[in-house]
Structures are given as structure tokens and as C-alpha cells.
Structure 1
Amino acid sequence: MPAVPSSFIEPLWVQFEALIPPVVDTHPLGCHRPRVPDRVVFDKIVAKLVLGGSYVKHADATVSATTIRARRDEWIAAGVFVRLEQTTLEAYDQIVGLDLADVTVDGQITKAPCGGQAAGRSPVDRGKLGIKWSRLTDGAGIPLGCVIDGANRHDSPLLRPTLERLARFGFDLPDQMRLHLDAGYDSGVTRDLLDDLGFDGHIQPKGVIVPINHTRRWVVERTNSWNSRGFNIVTICTERSTTVIEAFLALISAIIITRRLIRTAWTTHRWDTRPRRRP
């Protein structure tokens, strides 16, 4: 059984394969072992994101752990993961449409038992190492970008670099954008930042209990759940390199966006490989 349903992963793989640069054979004799197919490595990486575990656990007779890591680094250097995320966002915006008038930012903390470049002492886990994810979503919860840092970092300093992820859309942003934040961002520094960037800030006041279903922030909480419940790496991150974590986050976002695109377009569009039931 695949780690991700084939109705989602197959169209994603077609686009991923198109982004992989051609391989130049530099072997002087041209007699090395046949190259492991990219699809095999891609499936192993997706399985690792969903199920967790080390590369050795996912290696088998078809591909070794060393090959998985080497191919991963090749694709990261070529920018394949980032371009895939951007392509899926553009496809969703073209077919369904992104709701950029209402955007939401929220932080999430995960365990990082192996430490690494982005790890820090978690204030909610007895000082154990962890990672803070500062996630940006549109009005429907579509992930637009994510910034990572140590778990000891407050959400507020990560707000500016998180909002800078909107630069990927160029000049297509609405003139007036509303930003929805929780009480952790309730400060004068945050309000000054929103005024400088031209956002209409909707910040939940400190000490005031407001049910989340009475606000527009529930979409980012749902997106956090999509990440943590669907992908083990967001629950317990064992990667030590920030570059690798960011690449895997881009792949996770691409999977989530593709899933939402197919589910939404299922009722409005028809195509040859359309599932019989809404996925």
C-alpha cells in the first residue's frame, strides 16, 4: 500500500519528474552500475516523510540508504522541491484560486531528538530539543510558506520572514490583505510591523478567550493538523540539516496542495484520470 494515495502521488510525480534535470554520465568507461530509477527514490522519500524512521529502515534491495540521501541532495541542489511547491501553488491558483485577502500565520513546535542546525531548547517539553514551524496559509488553509527556527524562538520575531514568503506571488497580491493572528502576537512591535507592511491585522487580545471557530484562524490550525497527523517528520524531526528540512517541507506542502486541488476540482472539472469517488 503506498504511503500516499495514488490519486494524489501520481500527478505529483509527473510534475516532479519533469523538474529533474538530465543526468550527465561522466564515467570515463561508461561501465558503472545502472542508475536506480528516480521513481524508486521518490517513493522512498515520500514513505520516510509519512512513516518516519531512518533511511536505513526504508532501504531495501531496490535502493540503498546512501543512494536515497545522495539523490535527495542532488534534487535539493537543483531546486526541484522548491520549484515543485511553486508549481502546485500556481496550479491551484489557476484552477481554484488562492484566497490571499485573508491570510493566517501560526507557530507549531515539534520534537528534534537528533538536534541539528534548526533545533533549540523547547519551553514546552522540559528543555528538550525541538523545532519551531512558523506557517503561513491563505483563507482556505492552503500552505503558502513556512519558516523554521529553534523551539526557543518566540512566534513574533518569525512573523516578518514568514510574511516575506508572499513575495513568491510577485505583484498579484490584493491591495488590502487581512492577517489573522493569535494572542501570542499581541504586542506593539507586531502592530508596527503590520502597519509598515500594509496589513490589516486581526490579533486576538491577550487574556480574552475567543473560540477558534469564531475566528478566521481555524484554517491554519487545520493545516497544522494536516502536517502533524499526515507526516511523521513534522511530529518528530530527525533531520539535522536546515536545507533538507526546508526541502521536505516544500514536498509536504506540494502533497497537501495537490490533495486539496483534486478534492476541490473533483466537483467542478472532469479529466481522464479523475477518481470515481471524491478522494
Structure 2
Amino acid sequence: MPALPSSLIEPLWDQFAALIPAHVDTHALGCHRPRIEDRVVFDKLVQVLVLGAAYERIADSTCSATTLRARRDEWIAAGLFEELEDICLRAYDQIVGLDLGDVTVDGCIVKAPCGGQVAGKSPVGRGKLGTKRSLLVDAAGIPLGCVIAPANRNDSPLLRPTLAKLARFDEGLGVGLPDRITVHLDAGYDSAKTRDLLHELGCESVISVKGFPLQAGARWVIERTNSWHNRGFRRLAICTDRHDRVIDAFIALANAVIITRRLIAQAWFTHRWDSRPARQP
């Protein structure tokens, strides 16, 4: 059974395949074994992301675990996963429209049993190793960027690098930022330091106040997106990768899947195309 339905995997692969540079064989004698097809490796990396299985368990006669890791690192070095995420964001903005006037930031702690570059003692996991994702989403919960850090890092110091992800819309994506941006935050960010930062960046804010009952407001969308990450992608819920570049790549690939799924769900009512699902996603 495929890790993702064909209505998702096919458009993602079409865009990803167009980004892959032509392979140049550098072997002195040109006697390498036939190169594994990129599509085979891509499908297996999607399985690793969704199922959370080890590379050795995903590997079979068509592709070894060593090839999976080598091709993954090759694509990470070329920045292909981030480019795929950018393409999905651009397509969503053109067809549906990103709502950047109201953005939300929040942290999510997950297990990191293997340790690594961004693992630390979790304050909610009895001191076991964990990783924190500081996520940025738009008003509809579309993931716009993510910063990873050890689980024992506070949310507040991660706010600046997380909001810096908005720069990609002015620089690379060409979407453009609205004149007025309101940042929605929970009570963990309720401090003068946070308000000074938002004033410096020219952003308005809606911050839950400490000591009062839960004030969800417009922040519920980020809780849903965190749920999409953790329930839809086992590799993100239990982070077994030790290198930050690999974690960032898998988060970018997961974001591309989420954005494409939401794009299909929204466009299903307004557009027609040959591979359109027969039922509403």
C-alpha cells in the first residue's frame, strides 16, 4: 500500500523531478552498476517520512539503505526539498491565496531518542531527549516555515528566527508581505521582550495573558498543523535523525505534502483537472 495517495505523490514527484540536476558519472572507468531510478528513491523517502521506519526496513531489492542515505544527502546538498516547499507555497498562493495578515507561531516538542545536533532534555518528557519545532503558519494553518532546536530551549528566543522565515516571501517567492501583520502567540510569549521584538519588526500582536484561562483565539490553526505533522508523519513525531539538515529536509517535504493536500482540497470545488480525485479529499 503506498504511503500517500497518487493524487498527492504524482504532482509532488513531477515538481521534484524537474528540480533534480542531471547525474554526471565521475567513475574513472565508467563501470558503475546501473544507477537506481530517482523515482524509486523518492518514493522510499516518502515512506520513511510517513511510516517512520528505519532505512534498512524500507530497503529491498530495488534500493539499498546506503543508496537511500546517499541520494537523500545529495538532494539535501542541492537544496531540493526547500525548493519543492517553495514551489508548493507559490502554487497555493496563486490558486487559493496565502493569508499573511494573521500569522501564528508556537513550539511543539517531540521525542528524539537517538539524540543528535538538536536534541536536549525535554521539560515535558521526564528529562528524556527531545527536539522542539518552532512553527510559523498563516491564518488558515498553512506552514510557512519552521525552526528546530533542543527541547529545553524556551519558545521566546526562537521567535525572531521563526518570524525571519517570512523574508522568503519577499525575496525568493515573490509573494509579497502585507503592510499589516498580526502575530498570534500563546501565554508562553507573554513578556516585554516579545513585545519589544514585535514592535521592532513592525508587527502587531495578540498574545494570551499569563495566569488566565486558555485563550485560544485565532491560534487553533497551528495546533491543527502540529497535529498534521505528528499524526501524518511518524518521522516527525519520533525524531530519530541526528543531523539538523536531515530533519529540516523531512520537515520541508512534510510541509510540501500538507500544502499540496490543502491545495487539492480547496481547488476541488473550483477547478477541474485530469487527475482530480473522484471524491472530496
Report the TM-score, using the length of structure 1 for normalisation. Answer: 0.98
1:46 maps to a residue whose letter is V
Which residue in 2 is equivalent to 1:195?
199
Which residue in 2 is equivalent to 1:247?
249
2:147 maps to a residue whose letter is V
Structure 2 residue 138 is matched with structure 1 residue 138: yes
Q: Distance in 2 between matches of 1:133 and 1:85?
A: 17
2:79 maps to a residue whose letter is G
Which residue in 1 is equivalent to 2:269?
267
2:197 maps to a residue whose letter is L
Q: Distance in 2 between matches of 1:99 and 1:107?
A: 21
Deviation digits for residues 60-116 of structure 1, max 9, x if unmatched? 111000000000000001110010001100010011000000000010000000000
Report the TM-score, using the length of structure 2 for normalisation. Answer: 0.97
The within-5 A match list for 1:187-226 is 187-212=191-216, 215-226=217-228
Identity rate of aligned residues, in percent? 68
Deviation digits for residues 125-181 of structure 1, max 9, x if unmatched? 111110000000000000000000000000000000000000000171000111100
Which residue in 2 is equivalent to 1:180?
184
1:82 maps to a residue whose letter is E
Structure 2 residue 130 is matched with structure 1 residue 126: no
Which residue in 1 is equivalent to 2:6?
6
Q: Distance in 2 between matches of 1:256 and 1:235?
A: 15
Which residue in 2 is equivalent to 1:67?
67
Q: Once the 2 structures are TM-superposed, how far is the Cα of residue 26 of structure 1 from its aligned partner?
A: 1.8
Q: What SS class does the counterpart of residue 276 from structure 2 fall into?
A: coil
Which residue in 2 is equivalent to 1:84?
84
Q: What SS class does the counterpart of residue 87 from structure 1 fall into?
A: helix
Q: Once the 2 structures are TM-superposed, how far is the Cα of residue 203 of structure 1 from its aligned partner?
A: 0.1
Deviation digits for residues 200-244 of structure 1, max 9, x if unmatched? 1100000111352xx100000000000000001121100000011
Q: Distance in 2 between matches of 1:211 and 1:161?
A: 25
Q: Distance in 2 between matches of 1:27 and 1:117?
A: 33
Structure 2 residue 266 is matched with structure 1 residue 256: no
Deviation digits for residues 6-40 of structure 1, max 9, x if unmatched? 11111000000000111011223322211001111
Q: Distance in 1 between matches of 2:109 and 2:116?
A: 15
Unaligned runs of 5+ in 2: none
2:243 maps to a residue whose letter is S
The within-5 A match list for 1:26-175 is 26-170=26-170, 172-175=176-179
2:89 maps to a residue whose letter is L
Q: Distance in 1 between matches of 2:27 and 2:182?
A: 55
Aligned CA RMSD, in angstroms, stands at 0.9
Q: What SS class does the counterpart of residue 168 from structure 1 fall into?
A: helix
Unaligned runs of 5+ in 1: none
Q: Distance in 2 between matches of 1:273 and 1:4?
A: 15
Q: Distance in 2 between matches of 1:31 and 1:116?
A: 37
1:191 maps to a residue whose letter is R
1:158 maps to a residue whose letter is L
